[in-house]
Amino acid sequence: MLDAYPTITLLSLLTYPALHLGKKDYMDLAIHTEKLARVYKLRGSKKEEAKELVALRDINLDVRRGELFGLLGPNGAGKTTLIKILTTLLAPSSGVARVAGYDVAAEPEKVRPRINMVSGGESSGYGLLTVRENLWMFAQFYGIPSKLANERIKQLLEIVRMSDRMNTKSSDLSTGLRQKMNIVRGFLTDPEVLFLDEPTLGLDVEASMDVRNFVRGWMEGNRDRTLLLTTHYMVEADELCDRVAIINGGQVLACDTPANLKRQLQRDVIYRMEVSPLNGLQPEALEALGGVRKVSHEPKDGAAVLELILAEDDALGSVVNTLTGKDIHILNLQKREPSLEDVFVNLVGHSMKEAESGADGSSS
Amino acid sequence: MALTDRVPKNSGWRLFLQTVVGRAYPRIIGLLRELSWFFFEVFLPVLSVAAYVFIYRAIGAPDVYIGFVVMGGAMTAFWLNILWSMSSQMYWEKQTGNLALYIMAPNSLMAILLGMAFGGLFSTGLRALVITLVGTLLFDVSFEVSNYLLLFAVFMLTMVALYGLGMMTASLFLLLNREAWHYANLAQEPVYLASGFYFPIKSLDFWIAAGASFIPLTLGMDAMRQLSFSGGTELGFLPVQTELAILAGLCVVFLIGARWLLGYMERLAVREGRLTESRR
Ligand SMILES: Nc1ncnc2c1ncn2[C@@H]1O[C@H](COP(=O)(O)OP(=O)(O)OP(=O)(O)O)[C@@H](O)[C@H]1O
Ligand SMILES: [Mg+2]
């Protein structure tokens, strides 16, 4: 006791700055990135000078252990690129990324035993193996004893209601069942940090719900496990995630709990308005009106849907006047609570759908 | 054990071994599960063997040539396995997304490739055996093995060197995309010729035979023929002992080369973002 006292004081004195600024913080965080960037070299036609595409720029993220963290963004936002870097499959062009306390570029061998990843629509494994055999094989690659692996496979398949498919060849599975198998593969190895890239891509409502329920249940039962998922479904991010980072064009625009993100819009009023086709009226014209903050527009067969974010209720009057002045009829009007979609519109200036059609047009 | 309990995981040599077994498994189980291989991979080689047998009989070649051809026909199975299930396999693994999962897992890629090699060796060995049996019965081949132990040693060294070469080329295929298929195709027929699958390589120009010797099957097959048939020694390219020594050298070079090249290619692929098939 007598010996220990001065030692501790000395040690903590010596290490305090280091602990405070460095190592300890990283170890507490499941994911930590600093000024992370990735540039792809595009190999175009010959002779042409090589073009570059900035997929991620200046990403600073901290995810605590035990968090269910969501990356929300449209196609081409850089979500998959970020996941690839965090899972040691892609080197950062600059900046640092740490997962489970280790630098992904410098110490991938320390990171790999602690992580796993599942992507939506992946076709991993071998079609001639059964569901059980495929899962068993991947468990072997993580050094899980065979007997324990089989036990866990049974338990996990039961939870996703696939016990009856244990001995089905994986080539005979439907898309939804296949994806459930992939998800089970991710949880099977009990990773400290699990990455799910669009886990519900292409699934029907019921299968998506199964997957979400499973994820939620898992996080409740494993408080020290961290999960990062990407999605471009707003509802999924909203319902599931403790915190969400909204990402667009390779940049993080906002990062907070869904409730806090929406609270920024609390003082705004949001209307969803279904109108007859716009007859050439630009949504920007509406944004120019006093009290109108953001307008997003989405054509819908024979009609159009306008999402209006207004600074105050009164602004609705001038919107209605402008519309009727252009001979546009209002078919339906709803006032509603702010959603993450509105947060996105507010940050980016247009809806995620619009962002995606724009991104497609410019990059293909 | 409850689902939420922490899962104990092996590391080090246990993990390495588990990975090898895990990756060999689908190869071996696939052999038993899809019996269509029997037609394509036994019947077709036997057909080419038959063609050569008829030619050799028509021109009155010595009987030992018939044995040579049957053995060559059986050994083609190994070359096909190296081309299509080791080297270009990496391209398929990349397409299905398996490659990314292999690299992300805590195992070494060397263990994955060893698993592929063992699985391939087992299933191909079975094929080669069946081709040999069918050919022997059909064309009345008589073996006269002078030294079983030496024959076994030559075969094993040939296999180690061959699959070492396969692992090395597999790492080159890590970076290839669709063109992978063409390269594998390109290597198929010329090697049949240069390695002397259907005739003794002694009948080739010395320097062509020497050049082809970097493919372990060339010398391996030559030595096996010398050891398996009476009158085989006269048709041998180099003395068996010399061929054995060269094969041993190839084993070392290819295995070390594979290990080094795999590490290098993996780092390169991670830097360039080529572990997954690019989407456009
Ligand atoms: N291997 C690559 N080579 C060149 N450019 C790439 C490569 N992979 C991705 N990109 C580009 O980088 C940008 C970000 O892509 P990324 O796949 O990270 O987006 P994402 O957010 O996952 O999109 P999605 O919702 O469509 O999956 C895109 O513009 C994409 O075209
Ligand atoms: Mg993606």
Tens digit of each residue's pLDDT (9 = 90 or more) over A142-191: 999 999 999 999 999 998 889 999 999 999 999 889 999 999 999 999 99
| Distance in Å, alpha carbon of A220 to nearest chain B alpha carbon | 10
Q: Which residue has the higher pLDDT, A194 or A5?
A: A194
| Distance, CA of B20 to CA of B102 (rounded, Å) | 12
Among all chains, which residue has been given the structure tokens 């191909």?
A: B124
- What is the architecture, at CATH level 2, of domain A267-337? 2-Layer Sandwich (3.30)
Q: Give residue-wise pLDDT tens across range A289-338.
A: 888 888 888 888 888 888 888 888 888 888 888 888 888 888 889 888 88
Q: Mean pLDDT of all residues in chain A?
A: 85
Question: Do the domain assignments include residue B39?
Answer: yes
For residue A203, name the pLDDT band (cuts at 50, 70, 90).
Answer: confident
Q: Nearest CA to A117 among A72, A182, A213?
A: A182
Rounded mean pLDDT of A48-70?
A: 89
Residue A245 region by backbone torsions, left for phi larger than 0, else alpha for psi between -120 and 50, else beta? beta
DSSP string over B73-93? HHHHHHHHHHIIIIITHHHHH
Return d(Cα B198, Cα B212) in angstroms, integer: 14
B219 confidence band (pLDDT: 50, 70, 90): very high
Q: Which two tokens stand for residue B217?
A: 């099957």
Q: Tokens at residue B141, please?
A: 């081949």
Number of domains in chain B: 1
B-side interface with A, Cβ within 8 Å?
1, 3-4, 6-11, 14-15, 18-19, 21-23, 25-26, 29-30, 33-34, 96-98, 100-107, 112, 270-273, 275-276, 280
What spacing in Å lies between the alpha carbon of B225 and ligand 1's midpoint? 55
For residue B279, the ligand closest to its alpha carbon is 1
Q: What is the pLDDT of residue B203?
A: 87
Which residues of B fall within a CB distance of 8 Å from A136? 22
**Which is the closest atom of ligand 1 to the Cα of A73?**
21
Identify the DSSP state of B232: T
Q: Ligand 1 pocket test: which of A42, A75, A93 has the largest number of ligand atoms within 8 Å of its C-beta?
A: A75
Range with lowest mean pLDDT among A102-106, B34-38, B59-63: B34-38
Of the listed ranges A282-296, B61-75, B101-115, B135-149, the one predicted with least confidence: A282-296
B127 class by beta-carbon count within 10 Å (0-12 exposed, 13-18 middle, 19+ buried)? buried
Q: Over range B179-196, report the average pLDDT.
A: 82
- Residue-range domain boundaries for chain A: 4-262, 267-337
Summarize pLDDT for A96-123 with one digit per residue, the tens.
999 999 999 999 999 999 999 999 888 8
Check residue B216 and give its pLDDT.
94
User: Does residue A221 surpass a pLDDT of 70?
Assistant: yes
Name residue, tokens 């980016």. A348
The residue whose CA is least distant from atom 12 of ligand 1 is A55
Topology of the domain comprising A4-262: Rossmann fold (3.40.50)
Whose structure tokens read 């990135």? Answer: A33
Band of residue A26 on the pLDDT scale cut at 50, 70, 90: low
Q: Rg of chain A's alpha carbons, rounded to an integer?
A: 24
Closest residue of chain A to B93, computed from CA coordinates: A124
CA of A82 to the centre of ligand 1 (A): 10
- Give residue-wise pLDDT tens across range B145-166: 889 999 999 999 999 999 999 9
Q: Both tokens of residue A182?
A: 């992939």
With a cut of 80, say whether residue A4 has pLDDT above it.
no
Residue B96 is nearest to which of A84, A113, A123, comparing CB atoms? A123
Tokens 């093995």: give the residue. Answer: B145
Amino acid at A130: T
Weakest-pLDDT range from A241-245, A347-351, B203-207, B225-229: A347-351
Please give the structure tokens belonging to residue B69. 């051809």
Pocket of ligand 1 (CB under 6 A): A 40, 42, 53, 55, 73, 75-81, 232, 363; B 273, 278
Q: What is the mean pLDDT of chain B?
A: 89
Task: Output the residue whose Cα is nearest ligand 1's atom 27.
Answer: A75
Count of all residues that appear for chain B in the document: 280
Do the beta carbons of residue B122 and residue B219 sit within 8 Å? no
Rounded to whole angstroms, the Cα distance separating A359 from A294 reads 20
Q: Is residue B228 part of a domain?
A: yes
ipTM metric: 0.90
The SS3 call for residue A53 is strand
Give contacts of A156 with chain B, Cβ < 8 Å.
3
SS3 B5: coil
Residue A363: predicted pLDDT? 37
Rounded to whole angstroms, the Cα distance separating A114 from B105 reads: 9
Q: For residue B44, what are the domain limits?
A: 23-272
Q: Which ligand is nearest to the CA of A246?
A: 1
Averaged pLDDT, B224-243: 90
- Tell me: the pLDDT tens digits for A248-260? 999 999 999 998 9
Q: Shortest Cα distance from B198 to chain A (angstroms)?
A: 34
